[in-house]
């Protein structure tokens, strides 16, 4: 044990002991400039501002039924955590088709935000960083009827091969 953190007991809970969550409903990020971050996420992901409180901006995907998908709150100071430090690694945003992933790649490249691309077997993914260096993923998930249990992996992304295999306008699993 180091610092002021007390050791936490390990608790094992069976799935019958609670109701599982339905899924992730929204994310909130500490950022240096909420307005600048909102402009970036508008350009990178097509999110729209739902509510701007100055020190916090709430955004949503245009087709989302939720109040907000992303909250951007002004951080107390501008000190980013060290790379690979404890904390959130990235959030994944889903697109409906591989055509949309191709368009996202062009947008992220144009913004100078694209930092990586991967074929995970179960998904095809782009990785980018926002103006504060917060990493996020834009992904297309292989349709359930085309996925295999042993498909999870990490390999270089070949979007042309993925389009040849699945089709450019084939809806992903989440659509």
Task: Give the CATH number of the domain where residue 33 resides.
Answer: 3.10.180.10
| Kind of pairing between the strands at 91-94 and 135-141 | parallel
How many Å apart are CA 80 and CA 74, to the nearest integer? 13
Backbone angles phi, psi at 37, to 5 degrees: -65, -40
Indicate if 52 and 97 belong to the same structural domain.
no
The candidate with the shortest Cα–Cα distance to 55, out of 41, 67, 37, is 37
Please indicate, yes or no, whether residues 57 and 116 belong to a single structural domain of this protein: no
Checking if the pLDDT of 138 tops 90, the result is: yes
10: in domain: no
**3-class state of residue 144 by DSSP:** helix
Q: Which of 163, 122, 114, 168 is nearest to 143 (CA)?
A: 122
Residue 118: inside a domain: yes
Query: Domain for residue 4, yes or no?
Result: no
Q: Are residues 157 and 134 in the same domain?
A: yes
**What is the number of domains present in the chain?**
2
- Count, in order, helices (H) and strands (E) of the chain: 3, 8
Q: Which domain holds residue 124?
A: 90-175
148 and 108 together in one domain: yes
The CATH number of residue 173's host domain is 3.30.720.110
Question: 63 and 94: one domain?
Answer: no
The stretch 121-134 carries a mean pLDDT of 94
5 within domain boundaries? no
Same domain, 61 and 134: no
**pLDDT value of residue 147:** 84
- Read off the pTM: 0.85
Task: State pLDDT tens for residues 66-106.
Answer: 889 999 999 998 777 777 777 788 899 999 999 999 999 99
């Amino acid at each position: 044990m180091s610092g002021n953190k007390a050791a936490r007991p390990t608790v094992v809970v069976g799935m019958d002991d609670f109701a599982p969550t339905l899924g992730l409903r929204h994310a909130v990020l500490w950022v240096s400039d909420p307005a600048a971050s909102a402009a970036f996420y508008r350009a990178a992901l097509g999110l729209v501002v739902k509510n701007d409180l100055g020190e916090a901006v709430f955004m949503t995907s245009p087709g989302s039924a939720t109040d907000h998908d992303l909250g951007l709150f002004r951080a107390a100071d501008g000190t980013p955590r060290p790379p690979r430090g404890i904390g959130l690694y990235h959030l994944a945003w889903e697109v409906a088709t591989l055509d949309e992933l191709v368009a996202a790649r062009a947008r992220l490249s144009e913004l100078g935000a694209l930092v990586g691309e991967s074929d995970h077997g179960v998904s095809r993914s782009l990785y980018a960083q926002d103006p504060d260096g917060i990493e996020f993923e834009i992904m297309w998930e292989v349709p359930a009827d085309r996925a295999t249990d042993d498909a999870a992996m990490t390999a270089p992304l070949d979007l042309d091969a993925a389009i040849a295999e699945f089709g450019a306008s084939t809806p992903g699993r989440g659509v």
